[in-house]
């Protein structure tokens, strides 16, 4: 960057990132923060809750961590007695359970007193640092409140899709009838009958936000303690200087992209190559084509689901095939007897590699040339990592936006909604059919792979974290 007199600009550019601690929200922030820290004359700060401190410090000594005073979102859910398995819900065409207490807690994460205290803590960090720009996690309502209160310029970072950001800005209110609404699992394009279900879901969602006791009480407390109006996430996209999104047009439904929304492609940390991080696994991958399965960190398997995965794969892949299955199964020891019984034959045991933890990052494993399919729960990070790797995907959706991702992957021709009939559960026949479509030779398999490669090329061209950080520096320079 040059100044008006033609000399390089050597002034320090200070950027403050603020995020939830959970991987789904923090990963894109951390990827951009690390990239920014490598740029000359850029000073990078990250404000979050205590649990993220260790991860930030392990990434780079150039990242300055600032602790926010309070409990993080996961701790708050636990304090309300809301367990991981409680997040799961059937598609809203079957039940409106999705628009209940779980979603209310995602919006009104803290009670009024805690919210205001955390907001004051964030305002202190901003005041002490006086950053050139603040980059805020789109779900961190309390940080948005702090920016509003101080009148600070901020960039909104959304780890989700362009539609998630710009739904309300779609012409003719399309965001509430034309596109599948959050948690519906309705296929796109939407049929005439399903439009009715979609509109009902929109009404139910609006009703929840207007009548939720948690949201009402939080807004009352905020308003009486110097934070006017409704929760800021409702207006954050249009009030931000800019919105960063990891999607591109090729990863979403066709839609209107407003000027404030920047599409940068998947924003991910550069993983250590698998041959370095886990040489033994790399040797195993070299043996033949491999299907990789890794559900989200909040997913808890049941015994019937473990059986469904094993029986589905074995029924889909011929016994004499060299196709392998790499499976991250948390709490594997709980299913020891089941695994030994189901994988009793030496041939089946040989091609299943079941681990509680992947030493190599899934994103690095996906880069191995023998990995041919990616099975996951539908989280945004998992979806975008798959699109960047150019892998056909199977999505076993469990809740909220995971259903939208499954529908999106099917519409784009890069994946399969692998539990459409059983969601939020999954069963062997439906799962096995999905696996067979992505591994057995034929015209459909070639179409999946070709389309996935086209989307991957569009993702790479967008630039990801490097282009996003270029934009942040440009915004700081234009202050």
Query: How distant, in Å, are the alpha carbons of 72, 147, 354 from that of 107?
Result: 13, 17, 36
Partner residues linked to 291 by β-bridges = 325, 373
What integer is the mean pLDDT of 328-338? Answer: 92
Same domain assignment for residues 471 and 438: no
DSSP letter (8 states) at residue 97: G
Query: Is the peptide bond prior to 424 cis by the omega test (within 30 degrees of 0)?
Result: yes
5 pLDDT exceeds 70? no
User: Is 355 part of a structural domain of the chain?
Assistant: yes
Q: Which residues of 201-228 are buried (b: 16+ CB within 10 A; e: fewer)?
A: bbebbeebbeebebbeebbebbeeeebe
Segment 233-245 mean pLDDT: 94
pLDDT value at 268 more than 60: yes
318 plus 427 within the same structural domain: yes
Residues 191 and 308 grouped into a single domain: no
CATH number, domain with residue 278: 3.40.50.2000
Question: For a pLDDT cut of 70, what percent of the chain falls above it?
Answer: 97
Summarize pLDDT for 135-148 with one digit per residue, the tens. Answer: 999 999 999 999 99
pLDDT value, residue 381? 94
* pLDDT (0 to 100) of residue 468: 98
pLDDT of the residue at 102: 75
What is the percentage of the chain residues whose pLDDT exceeds 90?
Answer: 82
> Could you tell me if 279 and 137 lie in one domain?
no
- Rounded (5°) CA angle 235-238-239: 80
Q: Is the same domain home to 324 and 183?
A: no
* pLDDT tens-digit map of 387-442: 999 999 999 999 889 999 999 999 999 999 999 999 999 999 999 999 999 999 99
R_g (Cα) of the chain, nearest Å: 23
Phi and psi at residue 471, to the nearest 5°? -65, -40
Looking at the domain assignment, is residue 5 inside a domain?
Answer: no
What is the predicted pLDDT for the residue at 9? 63
pLDDT score at 80: 76
Q: Is the pLDDT of residue 262 over 90?
A: yes
Is residue 335 in a domain?
yes
Do 143 and 227 sit in the same domain of this protein?
yes
How many folded domains does the chain comprise? Answer: 2
In a domain, 473, yes or no: yes
Question: Are residues 297 and 175 both part of a single domain?
Answer: no
Mean of all residue pLDDT scores within the chain = 93
Q: Same domain, yes or no, for 251 and 296?
A: no
- pLDDT computed for residue 87 by the predictor: 77
467 and 413 within one domain: no
**100-114, 183-197, 206-220, 376-390: segment of lowest average pLDDT:** 100-114
* 25 and 155 share one domain: yes
125 has a pLDDT exceeding 90: yes
Any domain includes 332: yes
Asked whether residue 372 falls in the same domain as residue 325, the answer is yes
**Residue 4 maps to a domain:** no
Q: Are residues 25 and 140 in the same domain?
A: yes
Q: Would the pLDDT of 1 be above 80? A: no
Domain residue limits at 253: 13-265+463-477
Q: In what order do the strands lie in the sheet with 371-376?
A: 352-355, 324-328, 290-294, 371-376, 393-395, 415-417
Query: Looking at the domain assignment, is residue 2 inside a domain?
Result: no
pLDDT at residue number 3: 53
Span 68-122, pLDDT tens digits: 999 988 888 888 777 666 678 889 888 777 787 777 888 888 999 999 999 999 9
Burial letters for 442-462: b for 16+ Cβ neighbours within 10 Å, e otherwise?
A: eeebeebbebbeebbebbeeb
Give 105's contacts (C-beta < 8 A, 6+ positions apart): 76, 77, 80, 82, 214
Residue 62 reports pLDDT greater than 80? yes
pLDDT tens digit sequence for 295-311: 977 788 999 999 999 99
Is residue 8 very low, low, confident or very high in pLDDT (cuts 50, 70, 90)? low
Q: In what order do the strands lie in the sheet with 13-18?
A: 63-67, 42-48, 13-18, 133-137, 154-157, 242-245, 261-263
Task: Tell me if 350 is assigned to some domain.
Answer: yes
Whole-angstrom distance, CA of residue 327 vs CA of residue 455 = 25
> pTM for this structure?
0.94
Q: Residue 105: its pLDDT value, please?
A: 81
Per-residue tokens: 372 = 């041919």
């Amino acid at each position: 960057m040059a100044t008006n007199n033609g000399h390089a600009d050597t002034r320090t550019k200070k950027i403050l990132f603020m995020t939830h601690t959970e991987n789904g929200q923090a990963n894109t922030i951390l990827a951009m923060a690390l990239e920014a820290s490598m740029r000359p004359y850029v000073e990078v700060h990250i404000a979050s809750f205590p649990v993220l401190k260790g991860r930030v410090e392990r990434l780079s000594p150039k990242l300055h961590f600032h602790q926010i005073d309070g409990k993080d979102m996961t701790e708050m859910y636990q304090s309300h007695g809301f367990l991981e398995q409680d997040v799961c819900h059937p598609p809203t065409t079957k039940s409106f359970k999705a628009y209940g207490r779980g979603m209310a807690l995602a919006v009104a994460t803290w009670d009024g007193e805690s919210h205001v205290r955390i907001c004051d803590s964030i305002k202190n960090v901003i005041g002490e640092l006086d950053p050139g720009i603040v980059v805020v996690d789109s779900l961190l309502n309390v940080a948005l409140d702090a920016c509003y209160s101080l009148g600070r310029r901020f960039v909104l970072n959304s780890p989700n899709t362009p539609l998630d950001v710009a739904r309300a800005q779609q012409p003719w209110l399309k965001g509430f009838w034309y596109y599948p609404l959050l948690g519906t699992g309705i296929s796109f394009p939407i049929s005439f009958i399903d439009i009715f279900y979609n509109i009902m879901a929109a009404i139910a969602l609006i009703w929840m936000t207007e009548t939720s006791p948690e949201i009402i009480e939080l807004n009352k407390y905020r308003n009486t303690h110097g934070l006017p109006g409704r929760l800021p996430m409702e207006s954050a996209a249009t009030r931000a200087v800019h919105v960063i999104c990891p999607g591109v047009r090729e990863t979403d439904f066709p839609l209107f992209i407003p000027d404030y929304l920047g599409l940068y492609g998947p924003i991910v940390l550069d993983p250590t190559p698998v041959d370095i991080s886990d040489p033994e696994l790399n040797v195993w991958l070299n043996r033949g084509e491999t299907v990789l399965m890794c559900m989200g960190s909040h997913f808890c398997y049941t015994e019937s689901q473990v059986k469904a995965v094993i029986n589905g794969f074995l029924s889909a892949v011929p016994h004499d095939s060299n196709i392998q299955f790499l499976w991250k199964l948390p709490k594997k020891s709980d299913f020891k007897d089941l695994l030994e019984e189901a994988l009793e034959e030496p041939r089946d045991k040989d091609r299943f590699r079941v681990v509680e933890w992947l030493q190599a990052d899934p994103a690095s494993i996906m880069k191995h040339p023998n990995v041919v399919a990616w099975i996951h729960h539908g989280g945004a990070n998992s979806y975008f990592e798959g699109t960047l790797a150019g892998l056909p995907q199977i999505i076993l959706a469990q809740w909220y936006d995971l259903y939208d991702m499954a529908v999106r992957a099917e519409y784009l021709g890069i994946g399969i909604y692998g539990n459409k009939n059983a969601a939020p559960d999954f069963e062997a026949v439906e799962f096995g059919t999905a696996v067979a479509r992505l591994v057995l030779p034929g015209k459909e398999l070639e179409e999946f792979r070709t389309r996935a490669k086209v989307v991957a090329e569009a993702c790479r061209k967008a630039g990801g974290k490097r282009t996003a950080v270029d934009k942040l520096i440009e915004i700081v320079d234009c202050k």
